[in-house]
């Protein structure tokens, strides 16, 4: 009987073990685990909702900043165009002024050359007149006196 007692004891322990494993943990432990699990789930759901709200808020801020950036870019391009127009107008005005001043300079230079040419001709004429007269008294006088006498 010793061997049958051992087999019977072994079967009893095995059945009780199988029954205990199949039954699961006690009711008190299950309730406590459910409470902590539910608390964790609620906390995770709250964290998820706050993360979604933060994401939406950041997306909204991003959209607003992109709109402001686009608006600033358009304003900058407009100012650049206006500056180009003003610069082109000023450039054209300055070119016209340079042309006018260059024309004035050329005209004065031409007048100066004509004046020099006239003076040379007059000096040549005066020298010719003095040379043709060949008067001994006038040769001793300075050229300015000779011109004065020739005019009279």
pLDDT band at 148 (very low <50, low <70, confident <90, very high): low
pLDDT, residue 97, reads 97
Q: Report percent pLDDT > 70 for the chain.
A: 82
Q: Is the pLDDT of residue 139 over 80?
A: no
pLDDT band at 20 (very low <50, low <70, confident <90, very high): confident
pLDDT, residue 24, reads 65
User: Residue 146 burial (CB < 10 Å; 0-12/13-18/19+)?
Assistant: buried
Residue 13 lies in a domain: no
142 vs 57, which has greater pLDDT? 57
**Are the C-beta atoms of 146 and 130 separated by less than 8 Å?**
yes
pLDDT, residue 51, reads 97
Q: For residue range 61-93, what is the model confidence (pLDDT) as tens digits? A: 999 999 999 999 999 999 999 999 999 999 999
Residue 84 lies in a domain: yes
137 vs 38, which has greater pLDDT? 38
Residue 3 lies in a domain: no
pLDDT, residue 17, reads 86
Residue 101 lies in a domain: yes
pLDDT, residue 57, reads 97
Q: How far apart are CA 106 and CA 113, in angstroms?
A: 10
Residue 97 lies in a domain: yes
Residue 38 lies in a domain: yes
User: How many domains is the chain built from?
Assistant: 1
Q: What is the pTM of this model?
A: 0.43
Q: How far apart are CA 14 and CA 22, in angstroms?
A: 12
Domain that holds residue 93: 28-151
Tokens of 62: 């991003």
Q: Distances from the Cα of 113 to the Cαs of 92, 103, 117, 120, in angstroms?
A: 31, 15, 6, 10
123 vs 21, which has greater pLDDT? 123
Residue 86 lies in a domain: yes
Q: Distances from the Cα of 96 to the Cαs of 82, 105, 106, 138, in angstroms?
A: 21, 14, 15, 56
Q: Is the pLDDT of residue 142 over 70?
A: no
């Amino acid at each position: 009987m010793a061997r049958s007692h051992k087999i019977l004891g072994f079967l009893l322990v095995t059945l009780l073990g199988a029954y205990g494993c199949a039954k699961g943990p006690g009711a008190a432990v299950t309730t406590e685990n459910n409470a902590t699990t539910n608390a964790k789930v609620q906390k995770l759901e709250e964290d998820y909702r706050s993360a979604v709200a933060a994401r939406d808020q950041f997306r909204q801020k991003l959209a607003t900043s992109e709109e402001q950036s686009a608006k600033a870019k358009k304003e900058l391009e407009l100012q650049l165009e206006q500056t180009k127009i003003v610069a082109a107008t000023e450039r054209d005005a300055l070119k016209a002024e340079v042309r006018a001043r260059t024309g004035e300079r050329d005209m004065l230079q031409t007048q100066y050359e004509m004046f020099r040419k006239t003076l040379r001709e007059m000096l040549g004429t005066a020298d010719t007149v003095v040379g043709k007269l060949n008067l001994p008294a006038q040769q001793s006088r300075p050229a300015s006196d000779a011109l004065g006498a020739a005019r009279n």
